[in-house]
Structure 1
Amino acid sequence: MPKVKTLVITGFGTNCEVESAFAATQAGSDVTDIAYFSDVTAGRTRLADYNFLIFPGGFLDGDDLGAAQAAALRWTHAKTRTGEAVIDQLKAFFEAGGLILGICNGFQLLVKIGLLPGLFGKYFVRELSLSNNDSGRFEDRWVTLAANPACPCVFTRGISRIDLPVRHGEGKLVPKNQAVLDALWAENLVALQYADPATGLPTEEYPKNPNGSPQGIAGLTDPTGRILGLMPHPEAFNHPTNHPGWTRGETSILGTVLLENGVAYLKSST
């Protein structure tokens, strides 16, 4: 059975790397390492040595220049000490069949670098962004999510509904145009939507939808299903007592189920 080797990338304000690494290990990752972006450019860490890559959340670059914009430029233009383009390592990692999970800032990075949504198989082309919440403020709350059963996403397999925390100031999905939004649905690339906890139906109503994303879009995948980007934090729900309603008997599947699905996929791959 193939080993799952997970790499969590940190640095430049990221602060959820430890929780993300813990969640990956809890989900069954055989090897889980945390590395700074500078470790990649210095050649101390190579993406090719792993098959599960996590871009965690936090306050990447302080969100001062637009969430993950500076990080996208770093990944696009940085080179290692030997002159190798870092973006080529990322391309090779994905082409080799690796899984990529982007959480909060990590989701913002994936869309700004163009790995998501990969419409019609075109990658590293920016088709959308994530902008300021409609509320005009940082949102720190729990939300209910509905999963799209027709979506090819590896991470959301077998999931219909899940509760997760959000903590972001820039989480509203902004497609380049209506055609892009329509294509997301035509290809079933919408993986998760903010939902009304009473009905389980997708919603744009605040605060059930914390940022105003159109059609309640909270997470996207790519046509292969091997990339997932989402604004909520699955790594922050790794034990039943994390749930704010656990003392009242309120339950939900753990957020780590998303990572468990990813690990199971890699272990079953040949």
Structure 2
Amino acid sequence: MATPRVLILRAPGSNCDQETAFAFQTAGARPEVFHLNRLLEKPSLAADFQILGIPGGFSYGDDLSAGRIFGNQIRHHLRDTLQEFRAAGKLILGICNGFQILIKSGILLPDRADEPQATLTLNDSGKFEDRWVSLRTASSKGVFLQGIESMYLPIAHAEGKFIARDAATLSQLETNGQLALRYDLPQDGSAANVALASNGLLPYPLNPNGAQLNVAGLCDDTGRVFGLMPHPERHIDPTHHPRWTREQRERGDGLAVFENAVRYFA
């Protein structure tokens, strides 16, 4: 099996870069953590890697909105570099703040008529949500979710509500299989009697932010660029699970996300 090289791109305020690098390393990849300024100074460095990972955290303090400054740096200075990276058949993963960055940079969902197709905005609860959520894979399109039916992962965000530009865009993204990961009912049946809203939304906190169609993650039209609000790097070991002393598990649910990326280059 080939050993893909992974570029973990951090900025001031990123705080999940080492965990993301460790998750890729555990999955069999060779990660390196770079500050964004290093890539801005020499964009050609990206050509040496097969996977780009943008980790969670609070890049630039979320001063303008979550991921906005980092996203603008990519949009105005690195867009061509990342588009070439994707066109070369490589993979891009954005986790939490990284997902916000991919959305706001236009890398995950290219703008149409100079307008974004979707955004991630403030949670309906009006507060930072820090909890574990049940998830299901809703599409076979994405490379990172191959063979994964469901996951139980932690979230930690204040701006995770996915909203499409309009109903037509939302419908097209769903038809294309790009709304790949959804919040779901717990697998243990503890919420079997929960009623969905008329628009299909799960109630809070099962859908922790009010995202349209319970969207927790989406991919681009190639399936090779993927962003998600939950943190797979925070559940790669059985002991990461909040009930690990009571439930026997062989591995963390999130590890398969990183293994799929490595297996893609086998």
The TM-score normalised by the length of structure 2 is 0.90
The 3-state SS of whatever aligns with 1:23 is: helix
How far is the alpha carbon of 1:62 from its aligned partner? 1.4
TM-fit CA distance, 1:46: 0.9
2:257 alignment partner in structure 1: 258
Alpha-carbon deviation of 1:63? 1.6
1:213 match:
211
Query: How many Å apart are 1:118 and its aligned residue?
Result: 5.0
Quick check: 1:10–1:17 contact (8 Å CA) kept in 2?
yes
Cα deviation for residue 203 of structure 1 reads 4.9
- How far the C-alpha of 1:247 sits from its partner, in A, is 1.7
Cα distance, 1:253 vs structure 2: 4.7
Per-residue deviation, 1:44 = 8.3
Number of the residue aligned with 2:171: 182
Would you say the 8 A contact 1:118–1:223 is kept in 2? no
For the Cα contact (< 8 Å) 1:35–1:45, is it kept in 2?
A: no
Give the Cα separation in 2 of the matches to 1:242 and 1:45: 37
Task: Provide Cα deviations, 1:86-111, integer angstroms capped at 9, x if missing partner.
Answer: 22211111111110000001101111
The alignment partner of 2:261 has SS state of helix
Q: How does 1:143-182 map to 2 (within 5 A)?
A: 143-148=133-138, 150-182=139-171
The residue aligned with 1:223 is 221
| Structure 1 residue ranges (4+ consecutive) displaced by more than 4 angstroms after TM superposition | 199-203, 250-253
Query: 112, 131, 138: which is aligned to 2:128?
Result: 138
Superposition pairs for residues 78-117 of structure 1, below 5 Å? 78=77, 86-117=78-109
1:58 aligns with 2:50: no
Number of aligned residue pairs: 256
Report the alpha carbon displacement of residue 230 of structure 1 after superposing the two structures with TM: 0.1
Percent sequence identity over aligned pairs: 41
2:15/2:57 contact within 8 Å kept:
yes
Provide closer, same or farther for how the CA distance between residues 213 and 133 of structure 1 changes in structure 2, counting only shifts above 3 A. Answer: same
Partner of 2:21: 21
Distance in 1 (CA, whole Å) between partners of 2:91 and 2:173 is 20
**Consecutive unaligned residues in structure 2, runs of 5 or more:** none
Shift of 1:74: 1.0
CA distance in 2 between counterparts of 1:76 and 1:185 reads 25
Report if aligned partners of 2:136, 2:181 keep a CA contact under 8 Å in 1: yes
Whole-angstrom distance in 1 between the partners of 2:217 and 2:3: 27
Choose the corresponding residue for 2:243, options 242, 245, 253.
245
Give the superposed CA RMSD: 2.2
Q: Could you say if the C-alpha distance between residues 239 and 2 of structure 1 is closer, same or farther in structure 2, counting changes exceeding 3 Å?
A: closer
Q: CA deviation at 1:126?
A: 2.3
| Partners of 1:117 and 1:189 within 8 A in 2 | no
The match for 1:83 is none
TM-score (norm 1): 0.89
Structure 1, unmatched stretches of 5+, are 79-85
CA distance in 2, matches of 1:244, 1:116: 32
AA of the residue aligned to 2:82: L
2:145 aligned counterpart, secondary structure? coil
